Amino acid sequence: MSDTSRNILVYNSEDILINTVAARLLLRISDLLTAQDRVDVALTGGTDGIAVLAAAGKSPLTAAIDFSRVHFWWGDERFVPSDDGDRNALQAREAWLNTLIDAGELPESNIHEMPAEKRSAEQVEVASNEDNDAVLAAAAREYQAELERELGEEGALDIALFGVGPDGHFASLFPGREEVRIEDETVKAIGVANSPKMPPLRVSLTVPYIHKTDFVWVFASCERKSEAIARALYEPDNYHVPSSFARGTEETLWMLDKAAAANLA
């Protein structure tokens, strides 16, 4: 199933979905490295996202990739301490990236984590909304500055991976929130306070910056996401279904298992 802006692939099971996304990611990286000096990939967290990274780590296709020329970023992050188990980056390291580092294949400097919470638990507990907003804004500015140092002010990511939530969110862009409505292309990262999904403090790439990415891939499993996925695909650019904004310049690909695609015609 496809339309003019999206390709939709449906797989028979969650396991096939996860392994196919992992293989497709490795093949795309390998292909891009034949034509350019480096590849920049934004990873995603969540159960499916980390499962894809674990599958990539087990794939023989990794042998074809020069990881010294691959840089890893994140589409969003939970703003918690760097050693907190909720961190997307920590989970990604444990699932795959640390193995590449330990093998001497991936330089630590090629991992571009979003800033972590540096305040103590006591400081966070007594922080006001204004305090949190200021800390998150600084974190978003820091990540945007790193993107611009590495890729240039007009540069973009090559590949961005995203999951989708049962509420239709992607990255940390949630339904009806002002962060989804940002249209300023100079704003590439944004702080998200009082997230409806725990933990409440987050940092996310913005829709305009995501739209500059060459290959945007969204993948999801399980039936509880099927209604939101149908709305995202049939109601493009709907602020109440943020994943409906997922779009890349070269390719927009949705990869689903049968359960997640249950509401598609």
Domain range holding 24? Answer: 7-257
At 133-162, the pLDDT tens digits run 999 999 999 999 999 999 999 999 999 999
Tokens 């939709």 -> residue: 8
Percent of the chain with pLDDT over 90: 97
Predicted TM-score (pTM) of this structure = 0.96
Residue 168 corresponds to which tokens in the numbers above?
Answer: 């239709």
For residue 57, is it within any domain?
yes
DSSP output for 104-147? TSS-GGGB-PPP---S-HHHHHH--HHHHHHHHHHHHHHHHHHH
DSSP output for 185-232? TT--EEEE-S-SSSSS-EEEE-HHHHTT-SEEEEEE-SGGGHHHHHHH
At 63-88, the pLDDT tens digits run 999 999 999 999 999 999 999 999 99
User: Do the Cβ atoms of 253 and 7 come closer than 8 Å?
Assistant: yes
Q: What is the DSSP letter of 26?
A: H
- Structure confidence at residue 183 (pLDDT): 97
For residue 265, is it within any domain?
no
At 17-47, the pLDDT tens digits run 999 999 999 999 999 999 999 999 999 999 9
At 245-255, the pLDDT tens digits run 999 999 999 99
For residue 44, is it within any domain?
yes
Q: Is 90 exceeded by the pLDDT of residue 5?
A: no
For residue 103, is it within any domain?
yes
Average pLDDT taken over every residue of the chain: 96
For residue 2, is it within any domain?
no
Q: Is 90 exceeded by the pLDDT of residue 205?
A: yes
* Domains in the chain, number: 1
For residue 167, is it within any domain?
yes
CATH number at residue 138: 3.40.50.1360
For residue 226, is it within any domain?
yes
Q: Is 80 exceeded by the pLDDT of residue 3?
A: no
Residue 225: how many CA atoms within 13 Å on its side-chain side?
24
